[in-house]
Structure 1
Amino acid sequence: MPPAVVLVTGVSRWLGGALAAELASDPAIGRVIGVDTVPPAPEVLRRLGRTEFVRADIRSPLIAKVIESASVDTVVHMNTMASPAAPGGRVSMKELNVIGTMQLLAACQRSPLVRRLVLASTTAVYGSSPRDPAVFTETMQARRVPSGGFARDSLDIEGYVRGFARRRPDVGVSVLRLTDVIGPRIDSPVAAFLRLPVVPTVLGHDPRLQLLHEDDAVAVLARAATGDHVGTVNVAAPGTVLLSQAVRRLGRLALPVPGPALGSAGQLTRRAGLAEWSPEQLRHLAAGRVVDTRVLREEFGFTPRFTTAQALADYGRTLSPVLSPELVATAAASARDAVEQVARGAAAVSGLLTALRGDRRPAPSVPGLRAVRDA
């Protein structure tokens, strides 16, 4: 049975607004109410369709009146902040993420009509550490528990949601742990980072990236809001790419720097208004993170339309490459030729030395140097 009244928090951001618009396009849903502290931008407002926008702060107990007066039966919580805003900094970010969630859950608990709650969480709750497993499942915990920032807030939020589920067992609770979302329209931290003409990387590290296309993010959230699945689900696209591959495919330049110096590079880009990096994002650049999506496919019943490579390519359409693909291909071909020449020269030297020694045994084979892999 489709929901009668859906409330979506955080509709002034791209993902929240896109979800509200998607739900509003479903004629089976009676009403869609969008809530945020600031009104949406004109282009977002036009896309919202029949969504009713209510300017309200989820940190205030007044959010309970909105839920009660509109007879809301489904709540999708997306009003969390991934990076500190300039005016309020980390204090304002934590108030919105943690205090706002507590007030929203309290309002849902008091309303007898609420029967479904969807939380847009993040795979950042698994942290990033050199001791991490190759793939995280939903039952695993962080090897290195995040000590602050968005990842720490998300851990606290999920804890509050689990407590709510115990107090209201009649409410179906679905927690979606989204990986880094990317696409032509969304302005996410990973998109801002890969948009830099010169992308700083951690010297000696080449982490695996697992992405999610913005259209798939909207589709999976809409499915969670209108479906009946209960539990925690990792949401990510199939496949991974190395950070070095992502940089090359987007035509950017990589700048390997020592790990301790990456924080200083982040401060420079933040002051220039180019990208905002948190300590947890810096650790992600060194260790990476990959999650298992079996539950998403087999139990939740959703398969992303875009792979990680395809999501990256679709985002790349919006960028003007610093390095042209032709130049990258020429440099890669030259590197392959050089490697092959070195391999042939090493084999010739090995054969000559064997002949000079008069050794009739077969000359030891020289391990072939691996050709430069195409990005």
Structure 2
Amino acid sequence: MGKVVLVTGVARQLGGRFVRRIQRDPDVDRVVGVDAVAPEHHLGGADFVQADIRQSAIGRILAETGADTVVHLDVTGTPLGSGSGSRTSVKETNVIGTMQLLGACQKSPTVQRLVVKSSTNVYGSAPRDPAVCTETTPPKSLPSGGFAKDAVEVEGYVRGFARRRPDVAVTVLRFANILGPSADTPLASYFGLPVLPTVFGYDPRLQFVHEDDVIEVLRISSHEPRRGTLNSGTFNIAGDGVLLLSQCSRRLGRPTVPLLLPAVTWAGSLVRTLGMTDFSPEQIRLLTHGRAVDTTQMRETLGFRPKYTTAGAFADFARGRGAGLLPPEALAGAIDRIAELSLRGSGHLPTQSAN
């Protein structure tokens, strides 16, 4: 008998892609996808069970399938589709859903491996953060809300499960901002705006991981480790290098509007009201202070080397978004003019271009 893999969050594109990929592995006998809504994409030969992981039914599903590997992808920052859920329902799925799933795994005699999708958001974004965060770096200030706080809580419950079930190999993957042609993340939505609001005086460093690399590292973590590697533990997952936000805007061909921090907060409320993107307080902090993580453990312990660098992941994402409002050669001057008009209106004159 081959492996039986149960995957949560399969109605999202990332979950669907992973299900289609993992079932092609020769030692996988069966894949079971679980989500509260039926996916619009196909799942290949996988079985689909419609169930809300916030409910106790997940325990019955786990027992009936006899899954030995659980890949928990239903930890996310955005509702599925437009108007399909509120921030409250997302938080409940992230936190309560994880608690229910872990409770089911704890009771299951068949579960041998657990893989959990997390985020580098757990480090927060603060002015006194270290230049590079390692897996053991404590946040200078714990995230106070939003998806980042959810991820911190989820990881806490996972650590508790690992202590109670030391016989289960537990892997937590902290992904940097996920980008790619089909990425559906808050930062991808932000970069899709025709003009990018930024915080005046800040040009944060950003790190990305390509969605193809996300699928591959999830696949590796779902199997027994190769000789010389160990795929249980907590790992930062990101492409090599960083990009400044100003570099991202130029490569997209989109102008930025540098605003004072209170105005950025107001702009965030506006775009949320318009339903354009999730411009949350945690995203504003990221676009102010940035974040970069160390990936030594990903390479040396997990044995994974991403195909895409940070710049490569962003370039592939940008190709999928099409041309921006302005050609790159005209962008720098437009940014300067927009910044000057914005700051004159606020009673402040710029001393230099923000980009």
Displacement after TM superposition at 1:266 (Å): 1.4
1:93 and 1:315 mapped to 2: Cα distance? 25
Displacement after TM superposition at 1:34 (Å): 0.6
**In the alignment, is the contact (CA less than 8 A) between 1:3 and 1:74 conserved in 2?**
no
The SS at the match of 1:30 is strand
TM-score of the superposition, structure 2-length normalised? 0.89
Displacement after TM superposition at 1:139 (Å): 0.7
Partner of 1:348: none
> In the TM superposition, what whole-angstrom CA distance separates every residue of 1:311-364 from its partner, at most 9, and x where no partner exists?
1111111222211134348x69xxxxxxxxxxxxxxxxxxxxxxxxxxxxxxxx
1:201 and 1:291 mapped to 2: Cα distance? 22
Partner of 1:49: 44
Q: Does 1:281 align with 2:276?
A: no
Q: Give the counterpart of 1:324 among 305, 324, 327.
A: 327
Partner of 1:28: 27
Q: Give the counterpart of 1:58 among 53, 58, 63.
A: 53
**In the alignment, is the contact (CA less than 8 A) between 1:9 and 1:79 conserved in 2?**
yes
**In the alignment, is the contact (CA less than 8 A) between 1:73 and 1:115 conserved in 2?**
yes
2:212 partner amino acid: D
1:325 partner amino acid: P
**In the alignment, is the contact (CA less than 8 A) between 1:3 and 1:73 conserved in 2?**
no
Report % sequence identity.
52
The SS at the match of 1:147 is coil
1:127 and 1:276 mapped to 2: Cα distance? 17
1:153 and 1:84 mapped to 2: Cα distance? 14
The SS at the match of 1:117 is strand
Matches within 5 A, 1:294-373: 294-318=296-320, 319-328=322-331
Q: Structure 1 pair 193/206, CA: closer, same or farther in 2 (3 Å)?
A: same
**In the alignment, is the contact (CA less than 8 A) between 1:25 and 1:49 conserved in 2?**
no
* Largest Rg, 1 or 2: 1
Q: Does 1:157 align with 2:154?
A: yes
Partner of 2:342: none
Partner of 2:211: 214
2:224 partner amino acid: G
Partner of 1:68: 63
> In the TM superposition, what whole-angstrom CA distance separates every residue of 1:164-193 from its partner, at most 9, and x where no partner exists?
001001000000000100001121111110
Partner of 2:196: 199
Q: Structure 1 pair 65/83, CA: closer, same or farther in 2 (3 Å)?
A: same
> In the TM superposition, what whole-angstrom CA distance separates every residue of 1:88-144 from its partner, at most 9, and x where no partner exists?
533212211111000000000000100000000000000000010000000111101
Q: Structure 1 pair 198/3, CA: closer, same or farther in 2 (3 Å)?
A: farther
Displacement after TM superposition at 1:272 (Å): 2.4
> In the TM superposition, what whole-angstrom CA distance separates every residue of 1:184-222 from its partner, at most 9, and x where no partner exists?
112111111011110000010000010001101111111
**In the alignment, is the contact (CA less than 8 A) between 2:255 and 2:331 conserved in 1?**
no
Q: Larger deviation: 152-161 or 314-323? A: 314-323
TM-score of the superposition, structure 1-length normalised? 0.84
Partner of 1:341: none
Q: Does 1:124 align with 2:121?
A: yes
The SS at the match of 1:58 is coil
1:191 partner amino acid: A
**In the alignment, is the contact (CA less than 8 A) between 1:10 and 1:79 conserved in 2?**
yes
1:259 and 1:276 mapped to 2: Cα distance? 17
Partner of 1:359: none
**In the alignment, is the contact (CA less than 8 A) between 1:172 and 1:230 conserved in 2?**
yes
1:58 and 1:89 mapped to 2: Cα distance? 17
2:177 and 2:141 mapped to 1: Cα distance? 19
2:2 and 2:330 mapped to 1: Cα distance? 53
2:56 partner amino acid: P
Unaligned 5+ runs, structure 1: 333-371
The SS at the match of 1:226 is coil
Partner of 2:344: none
1:94 and 1:53 mapped to 2: Cα distance? 23
Unaligned 5+ runs, structure 2: 226-230, 335-352
Displacement after TM superposition at 1:260 (Å): 1.3
Q: Structure 1 pair 147/306, CA: closer, same or farther in 2 (3 Å)?
A: same
Q: Larger deviation: 319-328 or 50-59? A: 319-328
Q: Does 1:102 align with 2:105?
A: no
